[in-house]
Amino acid sequence: MTSTLGDLARLVGGTLCSLSASEDAAIRIHGANPLADAVAGQITLVDSLRSMDRLASTQAAAAIVPLHATATSIPVIAVDDPHTAFEQVVRFFRPTRPIPRTGIHPTASISPTAQLAAGVSVGPGATIGERTSIGPGTTIHAGAHIAADCLLGRNVTIYPAAVLYDGTRIGDRVIIHSCAVIGAHGFGYRQKDGRHVPCAQLGYVMVGNDVEIGANTTIDRGTYGATVVGDGTKIDNLVQIGHNCHIGRHNIICSQVGIAGSTTTGDYVIMAGQVGVRDHVTIGKGAILSAMAGIVNDVPEGAVMMGIPATPEREQKIKQAALAKLAEMRKEFKKLQSTVAQLVRDTAQIRENEVQNGRMFDVCTVPDTKVL
């Protein structure tokens, strides 16, 4: 598949900028790739004015750049939003193939009491339990397991080997990637007669609309009620969300985050990679938890937290700056120790000399002592 540079500019609503725009509009483009991978005949992307100098070494025939970019050695298409424009171009050259509606595969195991709406596809080896209801346009891929009494909305996509335990409720347009486990028992035990006895696991998981849940992510069911994931929240791979958590709307939760039970987050919270959150903590709306932050207390609305244990960003940066100087400060401290020790020795020697010479006196009794 090929296109002219002029056609691509019209596709993205951009302005073609070059020494000879009329001639360069006819340049044939056969693909799109990032700067590091672009070859001759392809179009590439520069997403900031600071990076424009990187075009000097590219093999690409053209680039999509931000508005007000300076002149370059290759023609460029200037746009207001380079990433959105480049996505359009990539989709043009590598169009997404629609998921085929295959219907119900003969090897799928579906309970006779389950209810499947029009347009549902169930792949080979998938299982759907008793009394489960699946909305129109939903796709259950090969080997996925939907247990009893689940409720799935419209246009949900469940990828291979994902597991939904009984009673799980999924909203519309939710995407659950391979090997995710939704509704497993929470990690709750109590001691009885010297043994760990499991607490009740009688709740369920409720996922809102437009949520995406990454591969190998696990969300535990509530003890009695629901573990909740709010509308629009995006969860990366390898995330653990404990029982009774209430995750707000439009959260971003990155890889390897662990959230202990009964934690609540507000809307638009961001948790970067490997954040750890203790149980029964409240994270305020719009808070940002930086990578590897250890959250042990409530976080105020809009706060940016860093470090282990996590503290506000400014405080943590001051600590890190001090730590960076610790080796130098240690050397200076040892020098001061040595100097003070020498002063103590010198003072002791002076006192000893005064005693030996019979001139020892108490400065407190000396009249008219003046401080110079």
Amino acid at 290: S
292 φ, ψ (degrees, to nearest 5): 65, 15
| CATH domain 3-93 topology | 3.40.1390
Q: Is the pLDDT of residue 237 over 70?
A: yes
Are 217 and 234 in contact by the 8 Å Cβ rule? The answer is no
300 pLDDT band, cuts 50/70/90, is very high
Q: Considering only 11-25, 171-185, 353-367, which range has the smallest mean pLDDT?
A: 353-367
Domain boundaries, the chain: 3-93, 109-317
Tokens 């596709």, located at residue: 11
Give, in order, the Cα–Cα distances in Å from 250 to each of 233, 277, 305, 321: 4, 18, 19, 34
Task: Give the pLDDT score at 359.
Answer: 62
Task: Give the pLDDT score at 371.
Answer: 43
Cα four-point dihedral sign 13, 17, 21, 27: negative
Q: Is the pLDDT of residue 365 over 50?
A: no
Report the percentage of the chain scoring pLDDT > 70.
95
Q: Pick from 133, 184, 190: which is nearest to 163 by CA?
A: 184
Residue 364 to residue 353: CA distance in whole angstroms: 19
Superfamily of domain 109-317: Hexapeptide repeat proteins (2.160.10.10)
356 pLDDT band, cuts 50/70/90, is confident
pLDDT digits (tens, 9 = 90+) for 119-143: 999 999 999 999 999 999 999 999 9
The partner residues of 170 in beta bridges, in order of sequence, read 152, 207
pLDDT digits (tens, 9 = 90+) for 179-235: 999 999 999 888 999 999 988 889 999 999 999 999 999 999 999 999 999 999 999
360 pLDDT band, cuts 50/70/90, is low
Give, in order, the Cα–Cα distances in Å from 356 to each of 167, 350, 351, 353, 364: 94, 10, 9, 5, 20
Residue 175 to residue 73: CA distance in whole angstroms: 43
Are 279 and 294 in contact by the 8 Å Cβ rule? The answer is no
Q: Is 243 a catalytic residue?
A: yes
368 pLDDT band, cuts 50/70/90, is low
DSSP state letter for 269: -
Q: Within 13 A of 217's CA, how many CA atoms are on the CB side?
A: 22
Residue in 145, 243, 246, 250 annotated catalytic: 243
